[in-house]
Structure 1
Amino acid sequence: MPTPHKPPTRVSPVFLGITAVMAVTAWAVWTDFSASPGLAVFLFVTSAWIVSLCLHEYAHARTALHSGDLSIGAKGYLTLNPLAYTHAMLSLVLPVLFVILGGIGLPGGAVFIERGRIHGRWKHSLISAAGPLTNVLFAVVCTAPFWLDALDGVPVLFQYALGFLALLQVSAAILNFLPVPGLDGYGVVEPWLSHRVRRQVEPLAPFGLFLVFALLFIPEVHGVFFDAVHAILRGLGVDELASGCGFDYYRFWQGENEYCASFTGR
């Protein structure tokens, strides 16, 4: 029987299953094994995106545990089980839906942390920052073949998939760090605000995520946002061809893009 001082940390079979799908579909994309390369890219990127969402939430939970919230373990957050999240819809379903609809790495809802158990503003800020920092790390790993100039031998289709996956991670990190109520960026700055300001902003928290999504539908905002995303990706060695063709292959139901396909040799 787990105790608050020894939380359950065994990795969930659900997470292991998702990771297995990611590994198998990564192999299918790399070897061009699938008769439908777009479907293979879709399954690989989606499963990898869900894995990153699990790691994002795990980072919040693990940091909270070490900061003083010993109740975290009993909630199942340390098992990486996406079904254990307080807001499964916000943490998993909506982020995946936004990727499918618009190729946007929109952040999900955070795990439930008993903030009253944690003392120190820096600890509260670090707990909030831990999630998006995981997306930053994931983006660095995804783009490693690009910025290490180690693309020789990496199939072009796999480069496309990595480019699009990196775009999702970079966009998620940027959006998460926005100081908007309800997002991690606001959680970073909130401990440093006065009690009066926090009370005034608190009612806006449930709507912050949807406000950001609505703003991204404004063409000017959308353009500025993705200009920033692509500028970061270029700094990591990923050009717009890789991420753009990755998105085209991801949306396999729209048919294969002949321009992108011409680089894969298919």
Structure 2
Amino acid sequence: MGYDRPGEPLVLGVPRAAFRPSPVFLALVALFVTSGALAWNQVGNVRVDVFLFVVSGWLVSLCLHEYAHAVVAFRAGDRSVAHRGYLTLNPFRYTHPLLSVVLPVAVVLLGGIGLPGGAVWVDRHAIPGRLRHTLVSLAGPATNVLFTLVLVAALRIGTGTGGSVEFWAGLALLAFLQLTASVLNLLPVPGLDGGNMIQPWLTPQWRRMYDLFAPYGFILLFALLWNPRIGGWFFDAVFAVANLLGLPPWLYAAGLDLIRFWQS
């Protein structure tokens, strides 16, 4: 993994370098900050600025979501997450780059939905107790919820204090994407975080059935959202929560329009 150096300090038996943020993650953070500053000041093509701001912000949140799973699993007893590089915040460590990074970003751009992205492989046998397993699964969605609240607070406090409307539209869209990701991840669908939270508490018979459907969680999720009635219920719930939080619909809709700069 590139961090096994003689004499390097250990943290619970793992080299300290296993916890250092990867250059990829740091580059994403730098892109997020830079593109946000460009959008704030309307420098260059502001639609491209907002596109980079939203996409890099979404990827940063994806990294932190999966990092939260990994760090809770590590604290609960699974040291393998460190050796797999999950604690470095590198998005390319979280399973398949196409399915874990490219597909969720494409869905963000085309559908305006914060689709669950990467995933960490956790050695469940190394973690004792059902509650710890539930907390490992809960850690990721809790990060999305926290992101949502922070971004909404920034909007409520910062709107009108400066910056361009394009910047605030991009921030509103990011908040909306975090909200959809929070709701999707908490759905009790096999294979998703919400389902994994309840899996340890199922009877052996139900757990076997759950494990049978878990690999097809993404397909099941798409099938549910494709159904007009279920999809309508989902978006009605998301829009209701967004209104309750004070997210202006016109603002995040404007953000979605801005990131599709190729349509202009």
| TM-score, normalised via structure 2 length | 0.91
Task: Give the equivalent residue in structure 1 for 2:14.
Answer: 6
AA aligned to 1:108 is G
Residues 27-106 of structure 1 mapped to structure 2, 5 A cutoff = 27-34=37-44, 36-106=45-115
Contact preservation (8 Å) 2:145, 2:178: yes
SS of aligned partner of 2:226? coil
Task: Give the equivalent residue in structure 1 for 2:124.
Answer: 115
Deviation at 1:195, TM superposition (A): 1.1
Q: Which runs of 4+ in 1 moved over 4 A?
A: none
Two-structure CA RMSD over aligned residues (Å): 1.6
Contact preservation (8 Å) 1:146, 1:237: no
* Residues 149 and 27 of structure 1, relative CA distance in 2, 3 Å threshold: closer
Task: Give the equivalent residue in structure 1 for 2:186.
Answer: 177
SS of aligned partner of 1:72? helix
Unaligned runs of 5+ in 1: 256-266
AA aligned to 1:107 is P
Deviations 1:107-138 (A, max 9, x none): 02420000000011110000000001101111
Task: Give the equivalent residue in structure 1 for 2:226.
Answer: 217
Q: Number of matched residues?
A: 254
Q: Does 1:139 align with 2:177?
A: no
AA aligned to 2:130 is R
Task: Give the equivalent residue in structure 2 for 1:26.
Answer: 36
AA aligned to 1:89 is L
Q: Quote the Cα distance in structure 2 between the aligned partners of 1:243 and 1:232.
A: 14
Unaligned runs of 5+ in 2: none
Contact preservation (8 Å) 2:134, 2:198: yes
Which is further off, 151-160 or 217-226? 217-226
Deviations 1:162-214 (A, max 9, x none): 11111110000100000100100011111110111111121211111122123
Q: Quote the Cα distance in structure 2 between the aligned partners of 1:206 and 1:109.
A: 14
Q: Does 1:187 align with 2:226?
A: no
Which is further off, 219-228 or 77-86? 219-228
| TM-score, normalised via structure 1 length | 0.90
Q: Quote the Cα distance in structure 1 between the aligned partners of 2:235 and 2:174.
A: 14
SS of aligned partner of 1:153? coil
Q: Quote the Cα distance in structure 2 between the aligned partners of 1:148 and 1:254.
A: 32
Contact preservation (8 Å) 1:87, 1:111: no
Task: Give the equivalent residue in structure 1 for 2:261.
Answer: 252
Q: Quote the Cα distance in structure 2 between the aligned partners of 1:150 and 1:25.
A: 18
